Structure 1
Amino acid sequence: MRTTEEIYQEMLAAFEARSGRRLDGSCDLAVRLYALAAQVQALECQAEWVLDQSFPQTAQGAYLDQHAAMRGITRQAAARAAGTLRFYTEEPAAAALDIPAGSVCMTEDGVRFQTTRAAVLPEGERTVDVPAEAVEPGSGGNAGPETVTVLTSCPVGIMGCVNPEAFSGGSDAEDDAALRARVLESYQRLPNGANAAFYEEQALRHEGVAAARAIGRARGIGTVDVYITAPGGAPDAALLEEVRADLQAKREIAVDVQVLAPETVSTDVTVELDVGENGDFETVKDAVSAAAAGWFTGKLLGRPVRLAELGRLIYNVDGVENYHILAPAADAPGDAKKLPVLGTLTVRAMEA
C-alpha cells in the first residue's frame, strides 16, 4: 500500500508534467495536494480493508460471523467453569445449616463462583459439597484445587469454603482464528446430507455443543453414532435429547442415528516447576493448575493428548522458567468415542 508521502510525490510529479512548473513545498497548492494525498491514502486503506472482509480467509469480527452464517455456522459463546465448593464448620453442626443457591465464594484474586442449587449441611456433620460455577463465563473461571477460599456471602453458621477439585470447562468465546478454521473446513469437507461432516455440522449448530464426532456404520450398515460434548465435558441429558431430535428429523431415510456422550478417559498430570529464585511458587502453581484445568474441555473430544501441547501450555504461564512433565509418560492417541478429562493434577517444585 502506498504511503501518503508516495502519493504526494506522485501528485507533484504529475502537476509538473502537466503544467511545466515545479511547486514549492511551502505554497498553498502544495499544502492542499498533501491534504488530498492523505485522503487518497485513507481511501486506499479502506478499500483494502473492505477487500479483506470480503473473504473468510481474512475477514474479522462481525464480518467473519457473516461468512460463517452463510455456512450455517455460529461463533461458540463463552462457557462458565464448573466444579464443587465444599462448605465447612469448625465443629459438627448443632443443627442443619441452609446454604442458599447463589452463595458466592471467590479466590484471593477476586474470581467469583456461585452455587447452582441450594444445599443443607446436616446436623452433626462438618462439611457439605455443593455444585458451583464461575459467575463470569470465560477461561478466567478455571481455578486450581483449593484456591477458592474466600466467603463473600456467608451462610449462617458456615465458617469457610474451599474447592477440593479444580474448576474447569471455562472457555472464552471462540476467537476469529478458530471460527475461521471451522468456516474453511466447511468448504473442504462439504456436507452432503449423508456424510460425517453433515452430522457434525448439524450438531455443532446447537448452543452448548463444544465438539462433535460422527462415526458411520457404527452398528452396521445404515447406522450413524454421533458423539458430542459440552464445553465443560460430558453433555447432559437435555442437550443429548435436543441434538438427537434435530438429527432424527434431518437424517437420511432408513438411517438409524444415535447421539451419545463419549466415554471419559481420566488423565493424571504430574509436573515439576522451576520458578527461579525470586518467583512465588504458590502463585505460579495456581496459574499452572488453572491453565491445565482450562485445557481439558469438551473441545478435546477425539483429539490426542500430546505432551508437546501440554508443555507449551505450562511454559507460557508467567513465572515458569522450566518444567518437567512426569505424567503422563507418553502421548495418548485420539479416539472419536472418547473424551480426555483431567484426573489428579499434581504440581510441585523442581528439585535443584
Structure 2
Amino acid sequence: MDSFEQILQRMEAEYEEKSGGKVEDVSEVGLRLRVLAGELHRLGASLDWLERQAFPQTATGAQLDLHGAQRGVARRAASHATGTVSFSRYLPLSFDLVVPQGTVCATSGEPVVEYETTQDAVLEAGDLTVNVPVRAVVAGAAGNAAAGYVTTLVSAPTGINYASNQEAITGGRDPEEDDTYRRRVLDSIVRGGSGANAGYYQEIALAQPGVTLAQAVPRAGGAGTVTVYLWGEGVAPSGEVIAAVQAELEAQREIGVTVTVTAAQVLNLPIPVKVKLPSEVDFTWATAQVQQAVTAYFDTLGIGEAYLLTDITRAVLEAVPAEKVEFGAGLVEISPMNGTLIRPTSVTVEALS
C-alpha cells in the first residue's frame, strides 16, 4: 500500500503538471491536497485490511473466528489450570475447621497467580492438613505452577497457618493462536467433510474438548468401519476424552458404519543434525536455534503424517545461515503410518568441518 507521502507527491506532481504552478505547503491548494491525501491513505489502509480479512489464509482475530464458524471449527478457548493445595496448621485443633469454596491462595513472587478452592473442605479435629482441589482464577498457561510454588494465603479462614501445593498445578492453556487455528480452518476446507468421508469424522473429533489432533481412517477394520485416532495437549487423551468422542461420533455416524476411537501411538526418534556454519556464527547460539526450529517443524506433523528430510533441512536453513546441512546415518525417511504421531526425543547438533 502506498504511504501518505507517496500519495501526496503524486497528487502534487499531477497538479503542477496540469496547472503549471508550484504547490506550496501553506497554500490553500497545498492544504487541500494534504487533507485529501490523508483521507485516501486511510481509505487505502481500510481496503488493505478488508482484503486481508476476506480470506482465511490471511485473516486474523475475530475475523478468522468468523471464517472458522462457517466451517463449524471453533477456536479453542483458554482453560483454567487445576490441581490440589494443602491447607495446614502448625498445631491440631480440637474441632473441625471448614475451608470454604472460594478460598484464595497465590504463588509467591512476581507475577502473582491466584487460585481458588472449587469445593468446601474440612480440616478435621486432630489433623494438621487438608487437601483441597483448586482452580486458577484466570484462565491461561500462566496458571500452571510447579510443586511448592503456591504458598501465599490470600483469603484463608482463621485457623489456617500456611498452604502449599505438593504437586504441580497443570492444565492451563492460552487461547488458540491464530496460526494454529488457521491451519485447522484451512484443513477443514481441504478435507471438505460431507458426512460420507473421513474428513467428516475428523472434524467432529477435533471439535471436542481435550483433542488437538485427529486422524480418521476409513475401512481400517474392513468395509463399513472408521477408526479415529486422537491426541491431546502434548499427551495421549484421557479415557474420559476418548469416551466422550466415541459417544459424539456414535450419535453422528452414518447408518451402518462402525466407529472406533482410540489414542494415537507416538513414534519417538532422535534427530541428529550436522551443520557447517560460517566462522562468524556462534555455534552455541546456532545449536539452540536449530533445536527450536526442528522441534517446531515436528510439531506441525499430524497423526499419520511422515517427515521429509528436505523439510527438516529447510527449517534448519531458515533458522541459521548454514552453508551445509547433513543428518546422522540412522535418520531416514519413513512411510506414513496410520495412527502414529512422530515426535523427536532429542535434537542433537554437530558441527561439520
199 and 212 in structure 1: CA distance in 2 versus 1, 3 angstrom threshold: farther
- The residue identity in structure 2 corresponding to 1:149 is T
Query: Aligned residue for 1:146?
Result: 148
- The within-5 A match list for 1:160-179 is 160-179=162-181
Deviation at 1:117, TM superposition (A): 2.0
Deviation at 1:252, TM superposition (A): 2.0
The question of whether the paired residues in 2 share the 8 Å contact of 1:229 and 1:262 is answered with yes
CA root-mean-square deviation: 3.5
The question of whether the paired residues in 2 share the 8 Å contact of 1:209 and 1:228 is answered with no
Matches of 2:146 and 2:255 in 1, distance apart?
48
Deviation at 1:242, TM superposition (A): 5.1
The question of whether the paired residues in 2 share the 8 Å contact of 1:224 and 1:256 is answered with yes
Matches of 1:159 and 1:262 in 2, distance apart?
46
- Aligned-residue identity in percent: 40
Query: Aligned residue for 2:22?
Result: 22
Indicate yes or no: 2:187 matched with 1:185. yes
Higher RCO (CA < 8 A, seq sep 6+): 1
149 and 236 in structure 1: CA distance in 2 versus 1, 3 angstrom threshold: farther
Aligned-partner SS, 1:132: strand
Structure 1 residues not aligned, in runs of 5+:
265-298, 305-333, 341-352
Deviation at 1:218, TM superposition (A): 5.7
Query: Aligned residue for 2:281?
Result: none
Between Structure 1 and Structure 2, how many residues are aligned?
276
Query: Aligned residue for 1:66?
Result: 66
Structure 2 residues not aligned, in runs of 5+:
267-299, 306-336, 344-353
Give CA deviations for 1:318-350 in whole Å, capped at 9, x if unaligned. xxxxxxxxxxxxxxxx99589x9xxxxxxxxxx
- The within-5 A match list for 1:202-241 is 202-206=204-208, 208-216=209-217, 221-226=223-228, 234=237, 237=240
- The within-5 A match list for 1:59-138 is 59-108=59-108, 109=110, 110-138=112-140
Matches of 2:339 and 2:154 in 1, distance apart?
42
The question of whether the paired residues in 2 share the 8 Å contact of 1:80 and 1:171 is answered with yes
220 and 165 in structure 1: CA distance in 2 versus 1, 3 angstrom threshold: farther
The question of whether the paired residues in 2 share the 8 Å contact of 1:169 and 1:232 is answered with no
Matches of 2:301 and 2:117 in 1, distance apart?
26
19 and 263 in structure 1: CA distance in 2 versus 1, 3 angstrom threshold: closer
Deviation at 1:189, TM superposition (A): 3.0
263 and 58 in structure 1: CA distance in 2 versus 1, 3 angstrom threshold: closer
The question of whether the paired residues in 2 share the 8 Å contact of 1:229 and 1:235 is answered with no
Matches of 1:166 and 1:303 in 2, distance apart?
32
The question of whether the paired residues in 2 share the 8 Å contact of 1:82 and 1:232 is answered with no
Give CA deviations for 1:233-278 in whole Å, capped at 9, x if unaligned. 75574x66654443223212212224567899xxxxxxxxxxxxxx
TM-score (norm 2): 0.67
More displaced 10-residue stretch of structure 1: 16-25 or 153-162:
16-25
Deviation at 1:194, TM superposition (A): 4.2
Matches of 1:218 and 1:149 in 2, distance apart?
51
More displaced 10-residue stretch of structure 1: 159-168 or 196-205:
196-205
TM-score (norm 1): 0.67
